[in-house]
Amino acid sequence: MYEYELKKYANDIFESDNFKSTKEYIQHGNMSVQEHCINVAKASLYIRDRLKIKCNTRDLIRGALLHDYFLYDWHKSDKVNSHRLHGFFHPARALYNARKEYHLSPRQQDIIIKHMWPLTVIPPMCREAWIVTTADKYCSLLETFYIQKGRIHHHRAKGKYAYMRVSDHGVA
């Protein structure tokens, strides 16, 4: 569902190496960041349709796909950052990374920087950002409790994550 719209408006994002790399990072449960972002984009379109909200579909999809474009494993500390305050700081990092690769409309920027509201105090300024912040919370809840399962499984012996090649999105 919604694959056609996702490809129509964001095929360049799906083709980018950085976006492809996000399937190596865990978001919640056994869900990769890439799967999570696709889930959020689809859930955003579903909310748009169910509530019949008029909005800019291109901005909605691209903002949703890039909302967690922080490009690191937030479960692990690295030399630069412990990522303990990931929840507060990753929207700014995602915006910084996305800006380097894409021209972002004001709506797309609002989606990315406000998606953690109310953790990031200033509320969304457009309906597209309200939709994505709602979809993100809904998907995160389902993923955290493994109600919606991802494709990453943990190799206990090797101590690392491996990606299961079972395609259920059809877009990435």
Name the site residues for Fe ion (rule: CB under 5 A). Answer: 68, 136
Say how far apart CA 61 and CA 66 lie, in whole Å: 9
Judged by CB, which is closer to Fe ion: 33, or 171?
33
Judged by CB, which is closer to Fe ion: 64, or 126?
64
Judged by CB, which is closer to Fe ion: 143, or 159?
143
Tell me how far, at minimum, the Cβ of 160 lies from Fe ion, in Å. 23
Tell me how far, at minimum, the Cβ of 63 lies from Fe ion, in Å. 11
In this structure, the number of other CB atoms found within 10 A of the CB of residue 143 comes to 22
Judged by CB, which is closer to Fe ion: 54, or 59?
59
Tell me how far, at minimum, the Cβ of 157 lies from Fe ion, in Å. 30
Tell me how far, at minimum, the Cβ of 28 lies from Fe ion, in Å. 9
Judged by CB, which is closer to Fe ion: 35, or 68?
68
